[in-house]
Structures are given as structure tokens and as C-alpha cells.
Amino acid sequence: MIVYIPFHAGGAGKWIYQGYFNAWKEEGYKPKYYNNISEIDTNSTYMLMATEGGINQENPTLLNLILSKASKVFMYTQPHTFPKPWGTHPNFVTNASPNFIKMVNSMENVHLWSFAKTANLDYWDKWKNINYIPLAFDDIDYTFESKGIFNYDICYIGGLADNGFNEKSQLMIEYFSELHDQGINTDGIFINKNISPEAEYEIMSNSKICLNIHDKYQQVLGLDCNERTFKSLGLNGFLISDKVECLSDFEELNIIQVKSPKEMAEQIKEYLDKDLSIIKDLNRSVILENHTYKNRVRSLLCL
């Protein structure tokens, strides 16, 4: 069966949906990328992954046909409203029309999902039931043979993604400046360096400790974590992260959470001199067993 997957040229979406593409293929399906729903062959048997913000709603007749002909549709859904200040920016709210929401809510083959926990929250009040399916680790793309060419005390790889409020860059400055001021070697921190997957694999796999920093809204609301969480644990196995409430859902994982840059520096100093091999082995095995995109595909199919 064909599974149509939205194409993302860059940003986090590229890696997320590439992970899903790999997982669908591994599970025996035929994944295909699409840029526009007009590319979907309604004469074939297919399932559809979609983002409601990425679907052109200007042709409701075609859209209804595409959705209704799919055996299953998995639609990533944005909140209808969102707390301030983020709710004032279109990045954080749905652009779906009331008619589109009504149509989707009436279709039994359309299953809504989000990276964020949505239960008992009024942010998604216009949509029908939304399933919480977190991000994951792409264990298919990240299977290179390690050459051991990097050896850092700590590592962090990421970009200065602006969510509309440019909060992430300020958080990075606060955290990494504190580490530098406390004499921690920050040579393993790479921001906006366009690191290849092969180099990312080497750096994260051969560092002592991986670090993670979330967006401000994630810290405050605690509803979702980023993909770096699972990638760090899948490749390295030991993670010190800023505190995000939803990380406590993954109680089988050993994640060190900190509430401030100073506390992150303290935890780094504490663990640098410890043997972390047991923790790393356990975390890596749990990620591979429970938190890969293959796991997420199976969760989608159970909806």
C-alpha cells in the first residue's frame, strides 16, 4: 500500500517526516513524498499523512475526495487557540477554516494527532479527539559505523530556529555562556553549522554527555519535547536537558533535567567524572525498543 507523506525541504519537518518515510518503508509499505494533494493517485489504495496547515483548502471538492478515498488519514493538527504570547503568532495556531474542521471531524477515516499532549486542554477545542504521538529516533538513517573521530566532554547540535519570537537564541546564550564561564569545554557545541547526519552521528556517539535545550513555550507549558531528546539518547545514551514536564512521561528513560543554566553546569561537572556506560546502554536499548519512528508508525496504525 502507498503511504503519501508531505515533503519538507528543510527545518525540523525534513528530519521528522524523513524518519516517518524510512519507518513506513521498513514496515513494508510504499512511501511517497508529495508537495500538493493533486499529486495523489485516488485510483490507488493509499494512506495519507498530512499537516492541516500544509493542505490546500481552496478546493474543498478535491480535498474531500482525497481524504475520503484514503483508507486512513493521519493529520498532524495545530491548536485552535494557544496561550499568550505565543497565541498571537500564526506559527502556533491552526489556519484551518471552520468548514474544514467540521468536514474533518465528520470523517471516521481521518485520525488527528499532535507531538504535544492535548488531553483536557482547551487549545484544541474545535477539533475532535487528538492523539498524542511524540517525536522519535530515526534508527534507520543513523546506523553509520562509528569511526571514533570525535571525543567531546559535552555536545549540542542545533539551529537558531525562530518560532516567531526568537526565544531559542536567547536561551542558548544563557545556557552556553554559563557553561563557558564555569570553565566547561564547549568545543562540542555546534549551532547553525549545517552538520551532516554522518558527522552528527560521530559527534553525539563519541561525546561523554549530550545536552538539550527546548523552546520557551515547551519549558513553560510542558506539553512536548523536541526530536533531539530521542536522538541524543538513541546515539549517545546520556542526556542533560532543560526541564520540560512531559519528559516525566518517559519514566523508563534516565534523563537528567535541570531548571537553570547554573544547574546544568553543576550536573555536567558531577557526571563528567563518572562511568556512564550502564546508563547509556540502558537508555539506548529503551529508545530502540520503544521510541523509534517504527514505533510511532505502529501507534498510528492502531488509531
Q: Supply the pLDDT for residue 120.
A: 80
- Structure pTM? 0.96
CA distance 264 to 179: 8
> 55-78, pLDDT tens digit by residue?
999 899 999 999 999 999 999 999
CA distance 256 to 244: 11
Q: Supply the pLDDT for residue 20.
A: 98
Q: Supply the pLDDT for residue 127.
A: 96
Residue 95: other Cβ atoms inside 10 A: 12
Average pLDDT of the residues in 267-272: 98
> 143-155, pLDDT tens digit by residue?
998 888 989 999 9
Beta bridge partners of 75: 50, 112
Q: Supply the pLDDT for residue 64.
A: 96
> 286-299, pLDDT tens digit by residue?
999 999 999 999 99
CA distance 58 to 139: 38
pLDDT bucket at 10, cuts 50 / 70 / 90: confident
- Tell me the three state secondary structure of residue 210: strand
Q: Supply the pLDDT for residue 230.
A: 98
> Residue 134: what are its φ and ψ, rounded to 5°?
-65, 170
Q: Supply the pLDDT for residue 123.
A: 95
Domain map of the chain by residue range? 2-133, 154-290
DSSP output for 112-156: EEESS--TT-GGGTTSS-EEE----B-TTT--PPP------SEEE
> 274-284, pLDDT tens digit by residue?
999 999 999 99
Q: Supply the pLDDT for residue 79.
A: 95
Q: Supply the pLDDT for residue 150.
A: 87
> 160-186, pLDDT tens digit by residue?
888 889 999 999 999 999 999 999 999
Which superfamily, per CATH, for 154-290? Glycogen Phosphorylase B; (3.40.50.2000)
> 182-234, pLDDT tens digit by residue?
999 999 999 999 999 999 999 999 999 999 999 999 999 999 999 999 999 99
Residue 118: other Cβ atoms inside 10 A: 22
The percent of residues above 70 in pLDDT, for the chain, comes to 100
* Chain centroid, CA 181 distance in Å: 31
